[in-house]
Amino acid sequence: MKNLKLLFIPAAILALIFTSCGGGDGSQADNAEVDSTAVASEAEFNYLAEQFADIKLIRYQIPGWENLSAKQKELIYYLYEAGLSGRDMIWDQNYRHNLEIRKALETILTSEAANRASAEWETFETYAKRVFFSNGIHHHYSMAKIPAEFSAEFLDELLAATGAKLSDEAKKAILDPEFDAKKVNLDPNLGLIKGSAVNLYAPDITEDEVNAYYKALIDTNDTEPISYGLNSRMERDADGNLYENVYKSGGLYGAAIDKVAYWLSKAADVAENKAQGDALRLLVEYYKTGDLEKWDDYNIAWSSATEGDIDYIQGFVEVYNDPKGYRGSYESIVQIKDFEASDRMKVLMQNVQWFEDNSSIMDEHKKDTVKGVTYKVVNVAGEAGDASPSTPIGVNLPNANWIRAKHGSKSVSLGNIVHAYAQAPSSGFSEEFIRTEELRARSKEHGGLAGKLHTALHEVVGHASGKLNPGVGTPKETLGSYASTLEEGRADLVALYYLLDPKLVEFGLMPSTEVGMAEYDSYIRNGMMLQLRRIEAGESIEEAHMRNRQLVASWAYEKGMEENVIEKVVEDGKTFFEVRDYEKLRVIFGELLKEIQRVKSEGDYEAGQALVENYGVKVDKDLHEEVLARAEKLNSAPYGGFVNPRLVPVMEGDKISDIKVEYPEVFLDQMLEYGENYGFLNK
C-alpha cells in the first residue's frame, strides 16, 4: 500500500491497523479503552455524544486553541469553511442518488408535518442517521446498502405529509436491498465497475473500456506521471467515446468548488509563511482549472511547506472508493501542531543520550551518539468530506510515489482524535476488566498521560536506541518475519523500563512514578488477556504489535512467577492479572530488553524465533474464550466517528477579530446544519 492513510477504522480494531510506527502505534488507544481517563481540566467534557446501530459518535476538543494568534485562528477558520464547502461532493461521488435522498431526509427531519408518533419513526430516524454517518446510503465500512427497516408505506406517508420529493429510482435505491447493493465491489466476478454503485463512472461504462482508455493515455516510461483520472467522473460523449468530466470551476461540481476555492484564497492571504501561502494558491489554481499538473505542483509545494503550526489535507485525495483506483474522494482535515506532544518530544530529544547510557542493554550494544526519532502529532480543528464523520487517525501524504521520493512526504498522527477515541467510555470496560477500585482510580487518574508517555518514549527513544554488531545484516535479513515483532517489543520495553524511573519526574514529564505504575497495570492486563478480544476464537496472533505485547507480558509473567511479581487472580469465574511488585517487574522488563537487543545486534534468528513463537503467537484457548464472552457482553459499537467543533467568527465591523470554538452535542443537528449551510450542489 503506497499510502499509509488509515481510513474508516472501526474503533474495535484501531490498534490492529498500525503496521509501521510512522505516527504512533495505537498502543495508547488500545490500552486506553480500559483506562478511560479524564484530565482534570476536561473532566466536564462529554466525549461520547451518542450510540446507535453499529456506530458510536464521539466529540473531540481542540487543545491549545487559546495559544494561537488571532491570525492563526483566522487561517484555521478559512480552511474549515473550505473543507465543509465541498461536503456535497463526497455525497455525489459515493452514489448518484445520494444528494437527492439526503435532501428528502433533511426535509422530512425538519418538517413538523412528519408523523413522529408512528412506531416506525424511530427506525426511520436511525436509518437517516446511519446515512448521514456514511455520507450516503451505503455503509461506510462494509460498503453494503444500509438496510431500510421501515415500510414503503411509511416512507410514502412521510413524503406526502412533508412535501419531500424522491424519484422512483431513488426510492428503489432506499427500499430494494438488491438494487445497487454495494458501493465498491472488489470481486472481479461481479465486475469491478458494473458491480460497484459508486458514482465515479457513468453506469453503462465497462471495465474493459476503462482499461483501454488509460492504456492509450498513460506513458509507462514517464517517471513523473500525473495522477490520471484523479479529479473526474468518467462519462461517454455523444459519439460513444469515453471522456473525463473534470471536477473544476465551471465543470462538474463547479458550484461547490468555487466556494472551496473562495475560502482557500482567503486562507492564502493570512498564511503563516510564504511557502504555506504559495501552496494554497496553487491549490486554488488547481481547483479553478482542474489541471492535474497543477495538482502535482501543489503537492510538491505542500510537502515542502513544513514551517508553521497549521497544516491541512484538502482535495480529491484517496482512491479507495474507485474499484479501479484512479478517482479521488473529496476530503478535508484542518490540523494544528500538538504543542504538548511537541514539548514532550523536545524533552526526550534533549535527554536521548541519557536514556541510551542508562539503558539495561549491554554496553557494546549502546550507541555512542544516539539521535532521537521525531514523530509528528497534530490536533484536528475540523474534518469534512470522506474524512468525516468517520476519520483516519493518521495520515501520510502525498500519494504520488515520485513526489514522495523526490520531495518528501508528511506523516502525522491525529492526536486529539486518538485521545477522544480512547476517552469515549466503552460502556463498562473498566468495571469488567479492572478488579479493584484502587486500580480503577489509578487508571482513571494516570492512564491518559501514561499512554501518551509510553508512545513518546517508544517512538523517540525506543526505535532510536541500540546498534548492530559490526558486519551483522539488517534485522529484515537476519530475523526475517520476526523482525518487526521484535523491533516493536524492543521499543515497548525501552518505554516500560523508563516509565518507572524517577528521572522522568525530574525531567518534568510526569508528576510521580504512579503514572508508570498505571502503565504497567494496563500493559500487563492488555498483553495477557484484553487484546485477545480483537481476534476470533480459534485463531492465533498474527499482527506484530499484538504479538509483541503478548510476548513482553507473558515472558514477564513467567519470569516473575516464583516471586509472584504478577499474580493471576480468578474471582467469580473472571480472570485478572495484577502487578504485585512494580520494581521487580521493571528489572524483568530490563532483562528482556537486554536480550531482545542482543538478538537484534547479533542477528540471532533462532533466539528471536523462540521468543516470538513461544510467547507471542499461541493463545490460551480458555482465556481467549473468556475474554471474548466478557467483551461481547459489553456490547460496544464497533465503528466510531466524530461530531466536529463549530468555529464561529467574532466580528468587529466587517473584520474578524477572533474565532470562537463551540462543541455541538447532537450529531443529527450538526448534519442538518451542514446541509443547510453547505448544500451547494443540493438544489
Instruction: Output the smallest distance, CB 488 to Zn ion, in A.
Output: 5
Residue with cell 523517540: 460
> Residue 252 interacts with Zn ion (CB under 5 A)?
no
Stretch that binds Zn ion, among 18-26, 335-343, 531-539, 560-568 (CB under 5 A): 18-26
Closest-by-Cβ residue to Zn ion is 21
The stretch among 13-21, 107-115, 261-269, 413-421 that binds Zn ion (CB under 5 A) is 13-21
- By beta-carbon proximity to Zn ion, the closer residue of 17 and 174 is 17
Q: Is 327 helix (H, G, I), strand (E, B) or coil?
A: coil
- Tracing cell 542508562 back to the chain, one arrives at 358
Q: Which is nearer to Zn ion, 23 or 516 (CB)?
A: 23
Q: Residue 151, CB half-sphere, CA atoms under 13 Å: how many?
A: 6
Closest CB 463 distance from Zn ion, rounded Å: 6
* CB closer to Zn ion out of 488 and 519: 488
Closer residue to Zn ion in complex, CB, 109/491: 491
Least distance from C-beta 18 to Zn ion, angstroms?
8
- Counting Cα atoms < 13 Å in the Cβ hemisphere of 534 gives 24
Residue ranges in 485-524 that form contacts with Zn ion under rule CB under 5 A: 488, 491
Give me the least distance between CB of 243 and Zn ion, in Å please. 46
Q: Is 21 in the site for Zn ion (CB under 5 A)?
A: yes
Could you say which residues in the range 548-587 bind Zn ion, by CB under 5 A? none
Residue with Cβ nearer Zn ion (35 or 488): 488
> For the chain, first and last CA: distance in Å?
38
> Measured from the CB atom, is 318 or 488 closer to Zn ion?
488
Q: Which stretch binds Zn ion (CB under 5 A): 22-30, 256-264, 561-569, 655-663?
A: 22-30
Residue nearer to Zn ion on the CB measure, 19 or 111: 19
Minimum CB distance to Zn ion, residue 487 (Å): 7
Residue 254 grid coordinates: 463547479
Query: Would you state the cell numbers that stand for residue 128, as one nine-digit string?
Result: 437517516
| Grid cell at residue 294 | 497543477
- Sites for Zn ion among residues 176-215 (CB under 5 A): none
Residues in the chain: 683
Which residue, 301 or 494, is less far from Zn ion as judged by CB?
494
Q: How far is it, in rounded angstroms, from Cα 657 to Cα 66? A: 14
Q: How far is the CB of 457 from Zn ion (least distance, A)?
A: 11
User: How large is the angle between the packed helices 87-94 and 98-110, nearest 10 degrees?
Assistant: 120
| Closest distance of CB 345 from Zn ion, Å | 15
Shortest distance in whole angstroms from residue 485 CB to Zn ion: 11
| Cα dihedral 508, 513, 515, 519 in deg (nearest 10) | 130
Q: What is the DSSP string of 173-221?
A: HHH-TTTT-BSS---GGG-TTTT---TTB-TT--HHHHHHHHHHH--TT
Nearest CB to Zn ion, comparing residues 105 and 599: 599
Which is nearer to Zn ion, 99 or 418 (by Cβ)?
Answer: 418
- Angstrom CA distances, 616 to 479, 487, 634, stand at 15, 13, 27
Which 25-84 residues touch Zn ion, going by CB under 5 A?
A: 25
Q: 3-state DSSP call for residue 114? A: coil
Q: How far is the CB of 431 from Zn ion (least distance, A)?
A: 31
Stretch that binds Zn ion, among 14-22, 63-71, 306-314, 604-612 (CB under 5 A): 14-22
Alpha helix (H) residue ranges in 613-656: 621-634
Stretch that binds Zn ion, among 21-29, 76-84, 110-118, 362-370 (CB under 5 A): 21-29
- Cross-strand pairs, 658: 650
Site for Zn ion in 361-390 (CB under 5 A): none
Beta bridge partners of 312: 334
SS (H, E, C) 241-261: CEEEEEECCCCECHHHHHHHH
Min dist CB 613 to Zn ion, Å, is 21
Residue 56: phi and psi, rounded to 5, are: -125, 125
CA–CA distance, 38 with 49 (Å, rounded to integer): 16
How many residues in the shown chain lie near Zn ion by CB under 5 A? 4
Stretch that binds Zn ion, among 225-233, 314-322, 480-488, 664-672 (CB under 5 A): 480-488
Contacting range for Zn ion; rule: CB under 5 A; set: 17-25, 434-442, 611-619, 668-676: 17-25
Q: Given the complex with Zn ion, which of 227 and 396 has the nearer CB atom?
A: 396
**Please, what is the minimum distance in Å from the beta carbon of residue 490 to Zn ion?**
9
Contact map string, positions 432 to 471, toward Zn ion, x by CB under 5 A: ----------------------------------------
Residue identified by cell 465497475 is: 193
Q: How far is CA 212 from CA 92, 218, 234, 403, in A?
A: 26, 10, 13, 26
CB of 433 to Zn ion, least distance (A): 24
Contact 106, 675 (CB under 8 A): yes
Shorter beta-carbon distance to Zn ion: residue 84 or 544:
544
Render 570-615 in DSSP notation, one character per residue.
EETTEEEEEES-HHHHHHHHHHHHHHHHHHHHHT-HHHHHHHIIII
**Interface ranges with Zn ion (CB under 5 A):** 21, 25, 488, 491
